[in-house]
A and B are shown apart, each in its own frame.
Chain A
């Protein structure tokens, strides 16, 4: 992955805007931002972003590649779509944030410690394994993300909620051993393999 990152740096030199336009989902909208800041004011987790979206857009145009890709800002997006519906220029900001986060993640230069990045990858692995989400495994996977002892601690802290969900029939205690999922999970595997193959080729991730 490091080599893909280097290849991108070599290819685009100092033109980070062009790199974003050609590689990031909906990235060709970035030049349309007029720096009004409505997105920043609309974001529910706005106070926790090092750089709100309009700043990220300006930093892209200013070529601040490392700062943007390693930022944990995009990972604060809750996908609430406030910014999308309020943007006067109709930039699909939510998707651009997702796209930037994914691009940084695929290049191996994303914020390493960010919990949402790690949780999100785990979620994707979970739902694509059988084609459907296994909520118990998602929860436990999250609690045990930082090691066994931490996992025990977090599980105990969440015990009441877990018992509540179980008692009301909203959590399957056999989820750990019994598979839910699609009959066509083999088909889904094949489809995803092909989809990654095409996307990796188009975006030069393996070069």
Chain B
């Protein structure tokens, strides 16, 4: 029996050969070192993300998330749902709260779930949490520091919290405007957080990086530039969309703005995996388009 057990909602981007598969690799590594067992929700589906509002309206979008909650309560009873993706977490938790707030929506949702025979499993009582929430609240910084064998000495890290991991729910006790938990995690694994990283909660454009690239690139430029100007070796984030947007468009931004960014953007779980003594591959560092050389060097020592 592992020390910590959760019902796990990985989300579409964490699937094999999907955009955040490198996060998934590092999350598995990190969890094994911290004695965390993740029980995947069987046959989970997409949360439909925020952008699902256009085609999905209200009830269909809630239905998608309610199915996951019901499946979790059926197959992984008594276990908190933990999501690693900000959008998955937000979608599921928003759904839970919306259904709690309205008898009509609850009645409608149960009728919808009946179509899949899931209405009797839907209690809507499970706690819906983000992985960093569980790390901070259940495991705690001290226990997160315990497996560190290769402290990330001299690595300057800009902690980019982004939007949906931070708003509207965020982490208890942290502010929306200047959350500090990512900096604390960096410190916990021996790195050097850049505390005056002023773009830490600036929006990367989210899904609009696809549909409105020019407008989003202006956002991303600010996010990378601020880290660059403060001497960051890399940006670290908990969010798959933030990671992708901030990493993969840097070349196009350089072309457009005449900058010369080449800033690695990794996940907190990758920092932790490296500090815990894992190989670059176990930390998913081979999934970086802009290689995180400093981390690779430490992992290779």
Contact = CB atoms under 8 A, between A and B. Distances in A.
Interface string B57-92: 111101110010000000000000000000000000
Interface string B240-283: 00000000110110000000000000000000000000000000
A188 interface: yes
Interface string A18-35: 000000010000000000
Interface string A119-145: 111011101100111010011001000
A116 B211 contact: yes
A170 B46 contact: no
B25 to A, nearest CB: 9
B211 A142 contact: yes
Contacts of A175: 17
A140 to B, nearest CB: 12
Interface residues of B, number: 65
Interface in B1-44: 12-13, 15-22, 43-44
Contact of A191 (B21, B116, B252): B116
Q: Chain A contact residues (Cβ within 8 angstroms of B): what range?
A: 35 or more
Given A123-B52, A132-B15, A191-B63, A183 B43 contact: yes
Given A164-B289, A180-B15, A99 B43 contact: no
A78 B17 contact: no
A50 interface: no
B112 to A, nearest CB: 5
A79 B61 CA distance: 15
B145 interface: no
Contact of A45 (B12, B163, B208, B249): B208
B212 A194 contact: no
A44 B212 contact: no
B191 interface: no
B202 interface: yes
A45 B58 contact: no
Interface stretch (A5-13, A53-61, A101-109): A101-109
Contact of A123 (B49, B251, B287): B49
Contacts of A132: 12, 15, 45-46
B212 A120 contact: no
Nearest to A86: B176
Interface of A: 25, 44-45, 48, 76, 78-82, 84-86, 94, 98-99, 101-102, 105-106, 115-121, 123-125, 127-128, 131-133, 135, 138-139, 142, 160-161, 164-165, 168-172, 175, 180, 182-184, 187-188, 190-196, 198-199, 202
Interface of B: 12-13, 15-22, 43-46, 48-60, 62-64, 67, 108, 111-118, 163-164, 167-168, 176, 202-203, 205-208, 210-212, 215-216, 219, 248-249, 251-252, 286-289
11 contacts: A25-B53, A76-B208, A78-B206, A80-B164, A80-B206, A101-B54, A102-B56, A132-B46, A191-B67, A194-B114, A194-B115
